[in-house]
Structure formats: structure tokens, C-alpha cells
Amino acid sequence: MYDGIRERQQQPYFFLNTENLHGATIVKFKIGNAGSEPLRSSEFISMPSVNLRNYKQSQIRSIKISESSRPELTKAFEINKDINNTIHINFSNEALEKGDFLVFEFQHEGDSHPKDWEVLSRIIGHRYGITDYTKILSKTNVPKTIALLWGLATLLIVIRIILFKMYKEVLMFRFWEILFLISLYLAGAFYLYVYLTVTRYAIS
């Protein structure tokens, strides 16, 4: 499980947020490269490069690029929609360098939530395609997992201290107990690293 999370951290990623306002919804879709190598447009083997499908097929009112890490990127992406209001994003003649990103903003009639959207893409060398960073956090429930691991380790230590004080004995831990406690703290530290790494790429 740890290897899978670590590998997905180094993949091309996306975030998708929705905001419902007075019978319409503003959707922000961020795509970026968290890997150590550039992601060239030619590495997208799906055509179009990225498809955003709304299960509700809501009527799209407007589409635009609201933010990018470099001005050149806005010229490399072409956005359009079809009769089913599926949004197609084509990427050509450029590369997403490490840390590069774009935020696409579009508005549609009615309401929607991130779970109502499906992102489809195929990229050479990336078996997960574009990783949904929101799902990494939601599926592993990172903050609660950190609290559980560190809380359990601390509770076990506190209980041991109380018991030894009650019986007025010298505080001691078996070797396997020390390893177990260390493993709990290290696991919590890893999940904290995942949380801090992923959230810094979130849509501001």
C-alpha cells in the first residue's frame, strides 16, 4: 500500500473542485506534473489528451484557463465540448515540467459534485494515468490515519507508565514492543509526508 501511494505521488495529477451557486456550478479542474521528469505532450496517447465527463450531462456555459504556472502553457492547451457536454482538452507542442500546472474553470447549469465527474486519460509510462489527488486523501483518510497511529502509540506508552508506577516497578519495554511502537510512529510520519506533499498541490 505504501509503495502504491508513493508511486502515485510522483505521477501527473489532478484536483477537481465544485462550487454550487444559485442554480449553477463553477468547476475548477487542475492538472499538473508532480513527477521528477518532464511530461511531454506526445506522451498523452489518448485522443483528446484528457476527457472530463459529467454523468449528469449538464449544459456547459463557459470554459476558460484561469491559472497556469507558465504563460506558454495556455497556448499549448485547446479546450472544447461535444453535444453531450463532455469536455475535451488537447495538449500539444509543449511539456509539463516538474511543478507545472494549469487550472481550467468552467461553469454549467444545475449542481454537481466531484464524484459526478469522470476524468479519462492515457499516458505512456504511467499506469494510473492522471492520479486523482483528492482520492488519495479520501481513500486513505490520511489525517485520521495519522491521528490513529500516533494516538495508539502514545496511549500504549502512557498505559505502560501508569501500570509500572502503580506497581512501583522499573519501566521496561520488550524489544518487540519497542519495534512495534517505532513502526507506528514511522507509519504516521509517512502518512504526514503524503498529506503535506499532496495538499501543497491543491487548488488554492
Q: How far apart are CA 86 and CA 50, in angstroms?
A: 10
Q: What is the pLDDT of residues 88-103, one digit of tens each?
A: 999 998 999 988 999 9
Residue from 149, 145, 160 nearest 185 by CA: 149
Q: What is the pLDDT of residue 185?
A: 92
| Class level of CATH domain 2-131 | mainly beta
pTM: 0.72
Q: What is the pLDDT of residue 139?
A: 58
- C-alpha distances in Å from residue 39, one per residue of 93, 126, 128: 11, 10, 14
Q: What is the pLDDT of residue 198?
A: 72
Q: How far apart are CA 146 and CA 188, in angstroms?
A: 5
User: Can you list the residues of the chain whose pLDDT is less than 70?
Assistant: 1-10, 127-128, 136-140, 204
Q: How far apart are CA 41 and CA 72, in angstroms?
A: 13
Q: What is the pLDDT of residue 1?
A: 46
Residue 50: how many other CB atoms lie within 10 Å = 25
Which segments of the chain belong to CATH 2.60.40.1170?
Answer: 2-131
